[in-house]
Amino acid sequence: MAEFGLTAQEVSCLRRLTPTWRIQRFLDDLDYDLGGACCRSPRRVLRERTVQCLDGALFAAAALRVQGQRPLIMDLEAVRDDDHVVAVFQQHGHWGAIARSNFSGLRFREPVFRTLRELALSYFESYFNLRREKTLRRYSVPVDLSRFDSCQWMTAERDLWEVGAHLVDVRHFTLLSPAMERALGPVDRRLFEAGKVGRQTAPRPLR
């Protein structure tokens, strides 16, 4: 079914987000859900104009699907940090990614990477915690979201936490050897500050 349960207006909006960098620009213009309170379907993202990384990846995958690609997402697994989920796609035999993050370096990747490992490694230097530790360690096999069609993942009004739970259990591949991990240095302060450009923080309570 071409519309996947979406309305004609929703389909039109997703189809207009081409080329792929327009999907990223759309996500970047949305509010960021700092608390990760919800895992919204693409329909809810269009309505609520708020995302965190997982529902941002779901939205990007839905847009790619409407445009004729498979709805694929990939999990990036970290230590002493949050995991990150990206929508992945292929053009001309190479991989790219679309993602929403509160850190500027963990978003769009042009489709220039020959393998998913290369794509995952492109996030390594920009994947750090607030202690300036480089935290990315593993990446997953791509997950085709069509497996969740029975859950109506593109249009559901409820939260879709089962997608995140599934990502925990899929096969992951290690990026670094133990010797590589031990040799890691801290993130350069300039890269650290650049990664926080545009970062949203919770407002401090009034005293």
Domain boundary assignment for the chain: 8-195
Question: Residues 20-51, buried b or exposed e (16+ Cβ, 10 A)?
Answer: beebbebbbebebbeeeebbbbbbbbbeeebb
pLDDT (0 to 100) of residue 205: 47
- Give residue for tokens 């050897």: 177
* Bridge-based pairing state of the strands 109-113 and 84-91: unpaired
- Distance, in Å, from the CA atom of 167 to the CA atom of 83, rounded to the nearest integer, reads 10
Contact 20, 56 (CB under 8 A): no
- pLDDT tens-place values along the chain, 207 residues long: 458 999 999 999 999 999 999 999 999 999 999 888 899 999 999 999 999 999 999 999 999 999 999 999 999 999 999 999 999 999 999 999 999 999 999 999 999 999 999 999 999 999 999 999 999 999 999 999 999 999 999 999 999 999 999 999 999 999 999 999 999 999 999 999 999 998 888 665 444
Topology, domain 8-195: C8orf32 fold (3.10.620)
pLDDT (0 to 100) of residue 121: 98
Strands (E), the chain: 31-32, 50-51, 72-78, 84-91, 94-98, 109-113, 136-140, 143-144, 172-174
pLDDT (0 to 100) of residue 202: 67
pLDDT (0 to 100) of residue 99: 98
pLDDT (0 to 100) of residue 203: 60
Query: CB count, 10 Å around CB of 9?
Result: 9
- Distance, in Å, from the CA atom of 124 to the CA atom of 187, rounded to the nearest integer, reads 11
Q: Is the dihedral of CA 182, 171, 148, 67 positive or negative?
A: positive
